[in-house]
Amino acid sequence: MKRRRFIQKAAGAGLAIGTGLPSLCADLSAFADTSNLSRIEARYYQKLPDREIECQLCPRVCRLGDKERGYCGVRENQGGTYYTLVYGKACSLNIDPIEKKPFFHFLPGTNALSLATAGCNVNCKFCQNWEISQVRPEQVYHFDLPPEAGAQEAANRRCPTIAYTYTEPVVFYEYMYDMSRAARGRGIRNAVVTAGHIQPKPLEDLIKVVDAIKVDLKGFTQAFYKNYVRGELETVLEAIELIARSNVWLEIVYLVIPTLNDNPDDIRRMSRWVVNRAGPGIPLHFSRFHPQYLIKNLPPTPISTLEKSREIALAEGIRYAYVGNVPGHPAENTVCPKCGKTLIERRGYAVRSKAIKGGKCRFCEAPIPGVWT
């Protein structure tokens, strides 16, 4: 389906083009259409006897019989061959400030063409995009956007970056990989927003074609990951280390949820781990939680908790610690760790001023890690 026709139909179906998310009052069953799913052979799987396969993309290592889908719901064994059902099937397309991802040290003040398909390989009980991440692709209205067309759309819109976001890009790996290559051919960069639930080999291959990765570190105990994410902390930590060793720009976000992952001792251990395993120059964002999806019984994170978390991170050696989801908070700004001057002034997603020149502080010429041009 062409993009113009998609927009016309989506408007009638209650799809919010501004966010790319289905309206909460929309009847998702009305969108069901298995005939329009893709049938592109997936990467990173092993064929087994009796038409079984073993997926090797993420740590779940789903072993599937004929006609079965993986945990993500968007990859299916068909007669012993594993297929991705969402290749080129975008369900969300928008132009966002890069700060919304958030990336604070990657082309600040620019826009990113942001897209997603349905599906996810974890199940965060606090997911903000659950309407498209926690459903099967036939339950969400989607339209055809092949990799070359997506890259051209970014060029037409003068977006210097394509961001793979909203849901979990790992589950639409093949689509993201091919679009990243097409984008690079046009001088457009690629940024991935992920939970980091991916095996080392596919991550190593992805790093070769993308420019920035933001990892959502959901918590710092396996108990939290088990109970609220249905994932593996160790896998995410391994992914962060692998990215940190590469030439890809890395930022980390920690969503602080009251009573669940806001223990100061855990924040301290996590900050110390980031310094030792990823590096003190990696930006670490402490974002404010708002009740949604399956966790509605908790209040928004107190701002004082976010501030305390940031103080702990700075004390442990993190040079760039931020407070997120609190528009106007001074900890949104980038400050030179050497001279203390404000280098980037922000309010929400808007960049008001920049004082970085040639990757250095304009005042004292201290190097500031990031991708600035």
Structural domain boundaries, residue 300: 89-332
Residue 305 has pLDDT above 80, yes or no: yes
Claim to verify: residue 173 and residue 281 sit in the same structural domain: yes
Domain identity same for 31 and 180: no
Confidence of residue 76 (pLDDT cuts 50, 70, 90): very high
Average pLDDT along the chain: 92
Give the pLDDT band (50/70/90) at residue 25: very low
Of 34, 50, 84, which residue is a domain's last? 84
Integer angstrom CA distances of residue 71 from 52, 132, 195: 15, 15, 15
Query: 25 and 98: one domain?
Result: no
Instruction: State mean pLDDT over 217-241.
Output: 98
29-43, 47-61, 100-114, 128-142: least confidently modelled range = 29-43
Instruction: Give the rounded percent of residues in the chain with a pLDDT score beyond 70.
Output: 91
- Do 110 and 246 reside in the same domain of the chain? yes
CATH of the domain at 247: 3.20.20.70
Higher pLDDT, 13 or 147: 147
Residue 112 lies in a domain: yes
Residue 346 tokens, joined? 């922000």
Place of tokens 């036939």: 138
Neighbours of 210 (CB within 10 A): 24
* 216 & 100 share domain: yes
What gap in Å lies between CA 56 and CA 63, rounded to an integer? 9
2 found inside a domain: no
Q: Is residue 4 part of a domain?
A: no
Residue 7 lies inside a defined structural domain of this protein: no
Q: In what order do the strands lie in the sheet with 334-335?
A: 334-335, 342-347, 350-354
Does pLDDT of 34 surpass 80? no
| pLDDT confidence bin for 13, thresholds 50/70/90 | very low
> Of 84, 99, 120, at which residue does a domain stop?
84
pLDDT at 332: 98
Task: Say which residues have a Cβ less than 8 Å from residue 101's Cβ, sequence separation at least 6.
Answer: 112, 114, 163, 165, 191, 193, 214
Q: Could you tell me if 326 and 349 lie in one domain?
A: no
Do 141 and 22 touch, CB atoms closer than 8 A?
A: yes
- In terms of pLDDT, which residue wins out, 266 or 35? 266
The pLDDT of residue 60 is 97
Q: How far is CA 36 from the centre of its chain?
A: 26
Whether residue 62 is predicted with pLDDT greater than 60 in this model: the reply is: yes
pLDDT of 232-252, one tens digit each? Answer: 999 999 999 999 999 999 999
**Do 178 and 245 lie in a common domain?**
yes
Total domains in the chain come to 3
Q: Is 139 within a domain? A: yes
Give 285-299 pLDDT, tens digit per residue. Answer: 999 999 999 999 999
User: pLDDT band for position 20 (50/70/90)?
Assistant: very low
Per-residue pLDDT for 140 more than 70? Answer: yes
230 and 111 in a common domain: yes
pLDDT value for 33 = 56
> Using one digit for the tens of pLDDT, what is the confidence trace for 308-357?
999 999 999 999 999 999 999 999 999 999 999 999 999 999 999 999 99
Same domain, 49 and 108: no
Range 214-228 burial, b when 16+ CB lie within 10 A, else e: bbbbbbbbeebbeeb
pLDDT tens sequence across 249-290? 999 999 999 999 999 999 999 999 999 999 999 999 999 999
Distance CA 41, CA 77 (A): 10
Residues 173 and 53 reside in one and the same domain: no
Where do runs of H (alpha helix) occur along 124-275?
Answer: 130-133, 147-156, 173-184, 200-207, 222-224, 233-244, 264-273
Confidence of residue 38 (pLDDT cuts 50, 70, 90): very high
Across 156-176, average pLDDT: 98
Asked if residue 304 is part of any domain, the answer here is yes
Select from 84, 104, 133 the last residue of a domain: 84
Residue 23: per-residue pLDDT = 31
Residue 351 lies in a domain: yes
Average pLDDT over residues 145-172: 98
Residue 8 falls within a domain, yes or no? Answer: no
Same domain, 316 and 228: yes
Shared-domain flag, residues 96 and 227: yes
Q: What is the pLDDT of residue 88?
A: 98
β-pair type (189-194, 161-164) = parallel
